[in-house]
Amino acid sequence: MSKDENEKISLAVVKRLPRYYRYLGDLLEHGITRISSGDLSKKMGVTASQIRQDLNKFGCFGQRGYGYNVEMLYAEIKKILGLDREYNMIIIGAGNLGQALANYPNFRKRGFKFIGAFDKNPDIVGKTAGDIVIMDISELEPFLKENRVDIAVLSIPKYNAPKISPILVENGVRGIWNFSHIDLNTPDNVVVENAHLTESVMTLSYKLSELEKNNKE
Amino acid sequence: MSKDENEKISLAVVKRLPRYYRYLGDLLEHGITRISSGDLSKKMGVTASQIRQDLNKFGCFGQRGYGYNVEMLYAEIKKILGLDREYNMIIIGAGNLGQALANYPNFRKRGFKFIGAFDKNPDIVGKTAGDIVIMDISELEPFLKENRVDIAVLSIPKYNAPKISPILVENGVRGIWNFSHIDLNTPDNVVVENAHLTESVMTLSYKLSELEKNNKE
C-alpha cells in the first residue's frame, strides 16, 4: 500500500480495524484463508458494503469472485495498527485497574510489554503486578531516563494525572493511555488515547433508557 | 425538549455527551452558571461550531449573547444519558478488573449501584469486591430471579462469555457492559456496550506509528 492511500484512512475506520483484526485472527486460527465480504458480513454483523468500503482501500485484497485473502489482510491491518513492532509500557497507578492491565495476557501477545509499574501507596510499592515489582512513584523519572518507554498507562485519580503527565512528556514518552478521568494537555508530538470507563457506562445507560422509552410507546 | 427532537440525536453525538457532562459538572462545582460556546470551546479543545452543533438541538439553551445555562444543560444531558435514575449492577468475573470496577467511587455517584459479584474461582468466592461478598457463579441464576438487575458487567475470559450471556438475557437483564473480548449475540431487547481494552490500546499504537511516520518525513 502506498503512503498516500494510508493517509486517507479516517479515524472512524481505524477504530473499526481492531475488530476486523480480531475476526481475521480467529479465521486464521481456524485455518480459513479466504473469505467473501458476504460471509465476513454475516460473521461480524455489519453490512457487506460497509466491509468493502472499509477494507477495499487496502490494495487488491477483495478480488471479485475470490474474496479476501485473510492472511494478507490480517498482516496489512496489523501493520496499519502499528502492531508489527514491540512497545515498552509502564503503568502509573498499580491499584486494581493497573493490576488488571498488567495481568492481561493479550497485551504481551500483541506486542505491548510491561517493563515498569509505579505507585505512591507504600502498601502497594514492593508488591508485584504481573511479573513486575511495583516501584515508588519517586523512581519514575530516573527510570524514564534509563529506559525507553513508548507508552505510559495512567490509572491514577484525576487530580494526580496533570502532575504526572509533564514528567512523562519531558522524558520522551510519546504515548499515553489515559484511564484517569480528565483530559490531558500534551504537545503535538505526544498521542493520548483516553479510556474513560465512566463515559462507556454512560453510553450504556443512554441505550438502556432509549430501549425503555421505545418499549413504553 | 420534545421526544421527536430527542430521537434525532445520533450515536456520535451521544458518545460526546459524557464529556460535555463532565465539563459542565466541573463548571457547576466552581459556581459557574453560564458559559458561551467560545469559552466552552477553549476549555474543551473542540471548535465552538462543533459545540453549537452538538448542544443547540437541546432546546433554547444557547441564546445569542447569553451563552448556555450550565445548570439546565447539565440537567438535560443527565436526562438524555439516562443518569436521572439508579441502575442495579452486578459483576461477573471478580478478578482484578471486576474488583477495580467495584471499587470505583464514581459509578455509585452516577447512579450505578453494585448489588452483586460472581466468580467461579474458589479462591475469589467469599472475598469482598467493594462492599459486596463475591458469590459463586452457580448462585447467579437464583440471584437474578430474586433481584432486579439492570446491568451486568462481564469481565470474564472470552470463551466463557457466550455461556453466561443467555442466562442474563433469560432472567431479564437488559444491559450488558462487556469487557470480554468477544461480540455477544443478544436479542433486540438487550443492549450491549463493549469496552474492549485491546481495541483501545490498538488505536493508541496506530496513532503512535502515524506519529513516527510523520516524524521521519
B14 touching A, CB under 8 A? Answer: yes
Percentage of chain B lying above the pLDDT 70 cut: 92
Q: Name the B residues in 184-203 with CB < 8 Å from any A CB.
A: 189, 191, 193, 195-203
- Partner-chain contact A204 B175, CB within 8 Å: yes
| Nearest neighbour of B208 by CB, restricted to A174, A202, A215 | A174
Residue A129 CB-density burial (10 A; 0-12 exposed, 13-18 middle, 19+ buried): buried
Q: Which residues in chain B have their CB less than 8 angstroms from residue A174's CB?
A: 208, 211-212
Does A162 touch chain B if contact means CB atoms closer than 8 Å? Answer: no
In angstroms, the separation between the Cα of residue B20 and the nearest Cα of chain A is 10
State the Cα–Cα distance between residues A135 and A122, nearest whole angstrom.
9
ipTM attached to this prediction: 0.89
Q: Residue-wise pLDDT tens for chain A (217 aa)? A: 444 444 567 888 888 999 999 999 999 999 999 898 889 999 998 898 998 888 877 654 555 667 888 999 999 999 999 999 999 999 999 998 999 999 887 888 889 999 999 999 999 999 999 889 999 999 999 999 999 999 999 999 888 999 999 999 999 999 999 999 899 999 999 999 999 899 999 999 999 999 988 877 6
Domains of chain B: 3-80 (1.10.10.10), 87-199 (3.40.50.720)
pLDDT > 90: percent of chain B: 65
In the predicted model, what is the mean pLDDT of residues B154-179? 95
Name the minimum distance, in Å, from the CA of B175 to any CA of chain A: 6
**HEC assignment per residue over B40-107:** HHHHHCCCHHHHHHHHCCCCCCEECCCEEEHHHHHHHHHHHCCCCCCEEEEEECCCHHHHHHHCCHHH
Inter-chain touch A14–B206, beta carbons under 8 Å: yes
* Most B-contacting residue of A17, A41, A128, A205 (CB-CB within 10 A), to test interface: A205
CA A180 – CA A177 distance, rounded (Å): 9
How far does the CA of residue B187 sit from the closest CA of chain A (Å)?
12
| CB–CB contact B203 A193 (8 Å) | yes
